[in-house]
Structure 1
């Protein structure tokens, strides 16, 4: 079976209405696969996987770019290459790219490196391009069509370092084979053939798995109902990933006073949270503190003028829990407007809320921290200290030329880091960027290091309608540190991207972090949910990790909070779009177990 080749189609899409699928999304490279050369199945929900990076202007602002006519090819070293026409964001000709094509390389068709513009000398706009590696001559053959409708080609030994490229010469016209693909909006380009292992990895990474079977011990020896309830099932998914799930065992037929063998049944327990769990609540955060769960969020119902908190003994109990107001814009003179994105964090034995607020105008929005008094009740407004503004290590304000917001916490190996979104407004609006710094564990509103830039909204999915990356939140595993970020305008185009670093990396080194080319979660990921984003993570009593996020139940509908289990894919990376039906197949919810009472 390994010798079987799969076809991988690269394509772009026709743009739709801006709230549905704008040019910044449509003009990116998409992928589909075929096993028989006839039927093609889209990957990544028919969304782009490769976006052109924005270019930087002289004033530091970004100029969004898109791509058209991508051409996928296999490279001599076993990697993959993509050549494409770089365009302006709306697909119109890019003057900076005149006489050039855009080049990318990839080891796996998932993560791409933008090599940059490959100059073809002519000085005219390139209209179409293709590239192939010729094994006989051991050279790459690059062909292109210019705006005068003439075709040219040149050859080179290394397409990434084209210093020995031959002089361009006229060549015969080339056309790409048209094919009936049957994918919505598809503008097909070319197909390459890859091995089964490469194709399966793509399929596993770019489609949502489903629950296909369970694994349980053949027999367990337990002597009490408590021990029995600790026996869990391992759910197996179509991509080979797993998830450990609790079971409600029916022990009515077991006589614990009589040793012997028993066969019992059980039901896999799945907490189900119908979307939404809270109306008009955005940027939600759930945290556990001293055995109790708490929920806070931005209050869209009152125009972001207050922050309330819910309290319950379980995550599910928060859904119906009453809210208690703990902060509003009448309590403090320095926080009169825009109470945004509260987050609960336990640090050094104290509970804190990180939030953004303004003394009056949008340009005054800044990150603040308030601490719960010793022995205080999180639901009592009077038990919280006055919020203080986050400052640099010298005591100066974090930002004097723009706004800061969405500050979050990351603890690793005894060190405390904060990440936040910062938008420089003076002298130019540069959009919202993601920063990181080390903070003081005893006073987490004080930085111990200089801010370090981690990410800009350079991809089309993050600068869709506005240049914004915001809402960072950390999710750590034994091997990796993941930070999800939200990008684009806070409407139906909002989506979630991913930054990742090795668990042993220097987190203040930008080179330690890898940014995904495409969003993890967008409007096409889960039916009926639009503009998902600004999520946080919490672990329940069973060790299950939940994503707490906001989305809209319809285009133009209000932001509402939701809950969904975080699954981990074949690389151990978070998967945020696994629905309840995909997570647990109802036909596999009943399980059986042989029990030995000693």
Structure 2
């Protein structure tokens, strides 16, 4: 059964997809297989993003902390300016813990058009511990701007946990972070102990955070956190965590490792899950360097209790 009104794949060879709707236009940004640049597409419709020409707005420098493996960018419009959050490393080499060495960085564009405007580097977004860090997003809630990301904790096993902090400005934290989730269930610990790629969705009286778990092969899947809109998000006990994944590999539909999602809306207000997945499992070498994590779209529905229903990744179709 086809549960997506869009072609699947939607955009090929674009992982970690992020779609922003702003002033009736849709903007698309994602990881490119070369991990060497940031590019943006814009179209007046979701469907138009498929054929929109990508515009390169930044390329990695030849050396320095942002010179390797540019991962999982997000584009945000904050207080009249544009910002791109992205992870970058100084090297492709792994560290003593056998992990990549990424940190989070921020670009700013004060011009009206982010495709033609001038982007300036605001530098690293510093957090309290200097460890592997990636997949940041930002959102407004309860009148405050929040920063939500994944990072390695020195004293917690695994690759990354999900953290939340209030922001002083779009490139600086204001509060100490709180940890919202760490890999603890078996489905979060397949291949690697991973919680990453958080994305925010609100519905009714709840705020939801989806996140990706486990290794980036067919084990990759989505988990879910949620909190009452009026509750204090800086109190971890106010958060709820689904004990089972909410979006997983479909062997029947040949969709493997769905994850690293964002959310957008149709013009009539329907919620859209934006994610990547492969259509095969036979990966040679490191899954990270396999380019065929394609961007895919799927409508989300809501049950009678106001909880999101992610369903099953639909099969490839034109």
What TM-score, normalized to structure 1?
Answer: 0.48
Asked if the contact 1:272–1:580 (Cα under 8 Å) also holds between the matched residues in 2, the reply is no
What is the CA deviation profile of residues 194-229 of structure 1, one whole-angstrom value per residue up to 9, with x for unaligned ones?
Answer: xxxxxxxxxxxxxxxx99xxxxxxxxxxxxxxxxxx
After the TM superposition, which residues 502-517 of structure 1 pair with which residues of structure 2 at under 5 Å, given as runs? Answer: 502-517=228-243
Structure 1 residue 346, shift from structure 2 partner: 1.9
- The answer to whether residue 273 in structure 2 is matched with residue 542 in structure 1 is no
Residue 571 of structure 1: which of 281, 302, 305 is its match? 305
Q: CA RMSD in A?
A: 2.3
1:366 maps to what in 2?
A: 103
SS in 1 for 2:237: helix
What count of residue pairs does the alignment treat as equivalent?
Answer: 301
What is the CA deviation profile of residues 54-76 of structure 1, one whole-angstrom value per residue up to 9, with x for unaligned ones?
Answer: xxxxxxxxxxxxxxxxxxxxxxx
1:280 maps to what in 2?
A: 13
1:334 maps to what in 2?
A: 65
Asked if the contact 1:492–1:556 (Cα under 8 Å) also holds between the matched residues in 2, the reply is no
Q: Which moved more, 1:348-357 or 1:323-332?
A: 323-332
- Structure possessing the higher relative contact order (Cα contacts under 8 Å, 6 or more residues apart): 2
1:357 maps to what in 2?
A: 88
Residue 29 of structure 2: which of 273, 291, 296 is its match? 296
Give, in whole Å, the separation in 2 of the partners of 1:498 and 1:388.
Answer: 31
2:97 maps to what in 1?
A: none
Give, in whole Å, the separation in 2 of the partners of 1:445 and 1:320.
Answer: 32
Residue 306 of structure 1: which of 15, 30, 37 is its match? 37
1:444 maps to what in 2?
A: 170
After the TM superposition, which residues 371-520 of structure 1 pair with which residues of structure 2 at under 5 Å, given as runs? Answer: 371-375=108-112, 377-380=113-116, 383-392=118-127, 398-400=128-130, 402-424=131-153, 430-440=158-168, 443-520=169-246
SS in 1 for 2:296: strand
2:79 maps to what in 1?
A: 348
What is the CA deviation profile of residues 364-421 of structure 1, one whole-angstrom value per residue up to 9, with x for unaligned ones?
Answer: 311112112233x2223x62111421124xxxxx432x21110111211211111111
Give, in whole Å, the separation in 2 of the partners of 1:308 and 1:284.
Answer: 12
Query: Which ranges of structure 1 fall in alignment gaps of 5 or more residues?
Result: 1-209, 212-269, 393-397, 582-598
Give, in whole Å, the separation in 2 of the partners of 1:569 and 1:449.
Answer: 35
Change (3 A) 1:327 1:483: same
Change (3 A) 1:331 1:290: farther
What TM-score, normalized to structure 2?
Answer: 0.88
Give, in whole Å, the separation in 2 of the partners of 1:387 and 1:540.
Answer: 32
Asked if the contact 1:528–1:553 (Cα under 8 Å) also holds between the matched residues in 2, the reply is yes
Structure 1 residue 578, shift from structure 2 partner: 5.6
2:288 maps to what in 1?
A: none
Structure showing greater Rg: 1
Change (3 A) 1:427 1:507: closer
Change (3 A) 1:522 1:578: closer
2:287 maps to what in 1?
A: none
Give, in whole Å, the separation in 2 of the partners of 1:573 and 1:451.
Answer: 27
What is the CA deviation profile of residues 234-265 of structure 1, one whole-angstrom value per residue up to 9, with x for unaligned ones?
Answer: xxxxxxxxxxxxxxxxxxxxxxxxxxxxxxxx
